[in-house]
Chains A and B, each alone.
Chain A
Amino acid sequence: DIVMTQSPDSLAVSLGERAAINCKSSQSVLYSSNNKNYLAWYQQKPGQPPKLLIHWASTRESGVPDRFSGSGSGTDFTLTISSLQAEDVAVYYCQQYFSTPLLTFGPGTKVDIK
């Protein structure tokens, strides 16, 4: 099974400042035949279902603000919010779909305003 870890567990950032969340997989989620990383990021606000932000590790979903970006390859990934806004307060999860249909989520990172 692919195990996902995230760091930090939580972080508090001032409005307009940068927030970065790390995600690590226990084995590579890079599929060599198409050079794609099978890694997604989700945002979950209180009382709401998760929302897909980024797939293929760095492709923003339609309608997602460009202050959200994803990077990384293989086993190490980062979600960056370039300029934190109040509406970005949420829990962020990474997820691997390399072993589809078996899926794994990271434990989540809570982002708050400092």
Chain B
Amino acid sequence: EVQLVQSGAEVKKPGESLKISCEGSGYTFTNYWIVWVRQMPGKGLEWMGSIYPGDSDTRYSPSFQGQVTISADKSISTAHLQWSSLKASDTAIYYCARHAGSSSVDYWGQGTLVSVSS
């Protein structure tokens, strides 16, 4: 069974750093892109970027380039999304999902709620 399990909710202060994770199982982790999607409170889905764990090819949405870093450790089938300095506007649910490059995004993680407040 394909599963993407994300790390737990985080409460942070502005300026702090953060790294959240997404562990894939039930499939060959290196053969699919992992995408990260932001959902701000009461808003829609925004594609942030994707990584191909097989060769670490990483692409970012222009809206998120330079704001976050996406990485993957294929030895533990885990992808990461990190911030070096959080802002209150980073408060959102962040989803990871699996994407076969030749098809649609199919499996999603449960989401990680990140709350940033002073």
* Chain A interface (Cβ < 8 Å from any Cβ of B): 1, 38, 40, 42, 44, 49-52, 55-56, 61, 91, 93, 95, 97, 100-108
Contact = CB atoms under 8 A, between A and B. Distances in A.
A55 B46 contact: no
Nearest to B35: A103
B88 interface: no
Nearest to A108: B44
A54 B110 CA distance: 20
Interface in B41-78: 44-47, 50, 52, 57, 59, 61-62
Contacts of A38: 104
A105 B47 contact: yes
A49 B109 contact: yes
Contacts, number: 66
Interface residues of B, number: 26
B31 to A, nearest CB: 14
Question: Which of A42, A91, A101, A103 gathers the greatest number of chain B CB atoms within 10 Å?
Answer: A103
Contacts of A97: 99, 103-105
B44 A49 contact: no
B44 A103 contact: no
A60 to B, nearest CB: 12
A64 to B, nearest CB: 12
**4 nearest A-B residue pairs (beta carbon):** A49-B108, A55-B104, A40-B104, A103-B47
Contacts of B29: none
Contacts of A56: 103-104
A56 B62 CA distance: 26
Given A50-B45, A97-B103, A103 B111 contact: no
B70 to A, nearest CB: 11
